[in-house]
Amino acid sequence: MPSADALAHAESLIRTVPDYPEPGVLFRDITPLLADAGALRAVIDALIEPFDGGFDVVAGVEARGFLLAGAAATVAGVGMVPVRKAGKLPRPAASVSYALEYGRATIEVHDDLAPGTRVLLVDDVLATGGTLAAAHELFAELGVVVVGTAVLMELEALGGRALVHDVHTVFTA
């Protein structure tokens, strides 16, 4: 487990950008954290620590979840599976549509994992929970077992935990 100082430093690197991508939104920019090797390693260790040895592959949700999932998979010595937005995979095997605040979205995944494979699902932010809940549904459809969900940051005021109950978070805002 990374030290409290290392995690405090990592958290200090996350910038809040007001009114992006639209007025009223506080965007959490993790780019400075990703550029700091020590901070990145600290958050990756914190993301996977509760699940250590209990998963066969890490799944990352597009797009910033890919970055964290790829690093987590490397540290854990396992593979990584991308959960993509609709139309980005050459041979999607499963897709799930879900509600957004203003409309609907769809995510897809290949069927490269054998039924029963244990997956750690990783994303950057838990906001309203729709995307992560849809990812859980995707893997269930394929017979893959999501053994845990880990996010870098939970935006508590948006209530995403109500849809994705058991989520390990490194930071909250």
pLDDT tens-digit series, residues 48-88: 999 999 999 999 999 999 999 999 999 999 999 999 999 99
Reply yes or no on whether 28 is catalytic. Answer: no
Edge-to-edge strand ranges of the sheet holding 145-154:
94-100, 103-109, 79-85, 57-61, 118-126, 145-154, 168-172
Q: Which one of the listed residues 15, 41, 62, 64 is annotated catalytic?
A: 64
In this structure, the strands spanning 145-154 and 103-109 are unpaired
Q: Which one of the listed residues 22, 91, 101, 104 is annotated catalytic?
A: 101
Residue 147: C-alpha distances to residues 35, 38, 51, 106 (Å): 29, 27, 8, 22
Segment 145-158 shows an average pLDDT of 97
Is pLDDT at 115 greater than 70 in this prediction? yes
What percent of the chain stands above pLDDT 70? 99
Is residue 172 within a helix (H) or strand (E), and if so which, with residue range?
Answer: strand 168-172
Nearest partner of 11 among 172, 147, 148, 123, judged by Cα? 172
Segment 1-13 shows an average pLDDT of 97
Reply yes or no on whether 49 is catalytic. Answer: no
Segment 90-118 shows an average pLDDT of 89
Segment 127-136 shows an average pLDDT of 94
Could you give the CA distance from residue 27 to residue 74 in angstroms, rounded to a whole number? Answer: 27
In the numeric block, the tokens 């990592």 are attached to: 10
